[in-house]
């Protein structure tokens, strides 16, 4: 990162933290958690212990981090090396990102940056300037992306509350600060699960490893009566709705399923898990009981947006509500071939243009690697 850009982001992030201490708090049982942070152009610092909001705010003002993290795990000694922490339990956390949803709109708001010559362009097979195939891809998510993620989150919520019987008062939703949401399950018996047990839970939620026998196709003599009904609870009902569509089509569809055979039905169930009814959570995130997660109220250095708690996810608009950097005019050199929208204002596309934009838009583009502060 260029020196002027680094200085701008550090000053901008520090001002945000100074102005928004009211949004940034240590979570419950803070004394048992591990904290960490990253600085711009620097690596991760972990195994920290913070007990109070005052400790957290002092760390933010002293170090001016690009990103701040807190563990999902609870430890007897959170500031010691991992092998000596003495793990107790961990919040169950799910991460759902737009990049994992295979949305058709993604190609329309993704550009690429050549690693070799730094040329920025729309997506192609090679760099249009130097023909290198060493490319980084940059996405500026749209409202359709966020709507897609919200849909997955709501599907996950149904499974957590109905199938797993988790009280919704123990579930908290947060916008990640970039292109997804985190779902927290706290104060639950599931917090005691280790990594292996969490992988079993992941298989259930993603509808992986489903077998035909479980959904109406026994080894011998399958019959219509053995297949699930649309009104069945849990995965049986979800499979029936996906398989039949409506009650009137059930009999005809079952006849075809039996005719096609058990192997074809197995493949159909696998396709359902991958493409439709399985929830697209990040398996590595949920299974990791020692992971540190971005702290709510902190800025995301990938975007300059805030990781923010969502009280009503269906109404929540991250590109207004989580865009909390101020609107002071900033002169930048912008090279963003993709348009985007923040705080109900459209920006771009720009082709090596010197422009003045609000500070929040400047931070967004610089964090994405699509702009630089204009040299004076």
Q: Which of 28, 97, 200, 312 is catalytic?
A: 97
Query: Among residues 19, 95, 203, 229, which one is catalytic?
Result: 95
User: Of all residues in the chain, what percent carry a pLDDT higher than 70?
Assistant: 100
Question: CA end-to-end span of the chain, whole Å?
Answer: 17
Phi and psi (nearest 5°) for 195?
-60, -40
Task: Report percent pLDDT > 90 for the chain.
Answer: 93
> What pLDDT is stored for residue 223 in this prediction?
87
- For residue 358, report the phi and psi dihedrals to the nearest 5 degrees: -60, 150
Per the structure block, which two tokens stand in for 366? 């610089």
Instruction: Given the residues 22, 260, 282, 312, select the one marked as catalytic.
Output: 282
CA 208 to chain centre: 20
pLDDT digits (tens, 9 = 90+) for 170-181: 999 999 999 999
- Residue 234: predicted pLDDT: 94
From the CB of residue 315, how many other CB atoms can be counted at a distance below 10 Å? 8
Q: What is the pLDDT of residue 267?
A: 95
Mean pLDDT of the chain: 95
95 is catalytic: yes
Residue 219 pLDDT greater than 90, yes or no:
no
Least Cα distance to 171 among 162, 159, 184 occurs for 184
Q: What DSSP designation does 308 have?
A: E
Q: Other C-beta atoms within 10 Å of 35: how many?
A: 23
> DSSP label at 299?
B
Model's pTM, two decimal places?
Answer: 0.93
Which pLDDT band holds residue 376 (cuts at 50, 70, 90)? low
Structure confidence at residue 141 (pLDDT)? 94
92 prior amide bond cis, ω within 30: no
CB 17 within 8 A of CB 60: yes
User: Residue 200: pLDDT band by 50, 70, 90 thresholds?
Assistant: very high
- pLDDT number for residue 24: 95
Euclidean distance between CA atoms 34 and 7, whole angstroms: 28
Single out the residue of 26, 46, 67, 50 nearest to residue 290, CA to CA: 46
**Domains of the chain, with CATH numbers?**
3-99+142-203+282-326 (3.90.920.10), 208-275 (no CATH)
Q: Which residues contact 105 (CB under 8 A, 6 or more apart)?
A: 142, 144, 145
**Confidence class for position 333, pLDDT limits 50, 70, 90:** very high
Establish whether 97 is a catalytic residue.
yes
d(CA 245, CA 239): 10
Return the closest-CA partner of residue 149 out of 23, 294, 298, 316.
316
- Could you give the 3-state DSSP secondary structure of residue 356? strand
- Token pair belonging to 39: 């600085």
pLDDT in tens, 344-359: 999 999 999 999 999 9
Is 91 an active-site residue?
no
């Amino acid at each position: 990162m260029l020196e002027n850009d680094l200085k701008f982001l550090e000053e901008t992030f520090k001002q945000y933290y100074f102005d928004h201490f009211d949004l940034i708090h240590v979570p419950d049982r803070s004394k048992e958690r591990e904290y960490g942070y990253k600085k711009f152009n620097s690596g991760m610092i972990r195994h920290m212990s913070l007990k109070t909001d005052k400790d957290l705010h002092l760390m933010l003002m002293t170090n001016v981090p690009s990103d701040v993290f807190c563990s999902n795990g609870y430890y007897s000694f959170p500031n010691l090396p991992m092998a000596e922490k003495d793990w107790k339990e961990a919040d169950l956390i799910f991460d759902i990102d737009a990049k994992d949803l295979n949305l058709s709109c993604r190609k329309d708001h993704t550009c690429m940056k050549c690693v070799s010559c730094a040329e920025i362009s729309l997506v192609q097979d090679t760099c249009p300037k130097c023909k290198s195939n060493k490319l980084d891809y940059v996405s500026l998510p749209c409202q359709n992306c966020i709507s897609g993620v919200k849909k997955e989150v709501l599907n996950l919520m149904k499974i957590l509350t109905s199938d797993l019987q988790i009280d919704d008062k123990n579930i908290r939703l947060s916008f990640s600060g970039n292109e997804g949401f985190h779902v927290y399950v706290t104060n639950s018996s599931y917090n005691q699960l280790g990594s292996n047990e969490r992988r079993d839970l992941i298989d259930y939620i993603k509808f992986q490893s489903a077998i035909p026998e479980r959904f109406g196709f026994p080894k011998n003599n399958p019959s219509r009566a053995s297949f699930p009904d649309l009104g069945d609870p849990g995965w049986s009902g979800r499979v029936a709705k996906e398989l039949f569509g409506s009650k009137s089509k059930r009999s005809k569809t079952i006849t075809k399923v039996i005719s096609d055979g058990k192997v074809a039905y197995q493949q159909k169930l696998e396709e359902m898990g991958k493409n439709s009814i399985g929830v697209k959570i990040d398996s590595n995130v949920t299974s990791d009981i020692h992971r540190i997660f971005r702290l709510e109220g902190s800025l995301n250095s990938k975007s300059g947006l805030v990781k923010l708690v969502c009280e009503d996810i269906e109404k929540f608009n991250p590109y207004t509500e989580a865009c909390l950097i101020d609107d002071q005019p900033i002169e930048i050199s912008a090279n963003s071939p993709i348009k985007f929208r923040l705080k109900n204002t459209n920006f771009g596309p720009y082709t090596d243009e010197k422009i003045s934009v609000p500070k929040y838009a400047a931070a967004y583009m610089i964090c994405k690697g699509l702009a630089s502060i204009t040299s004076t």
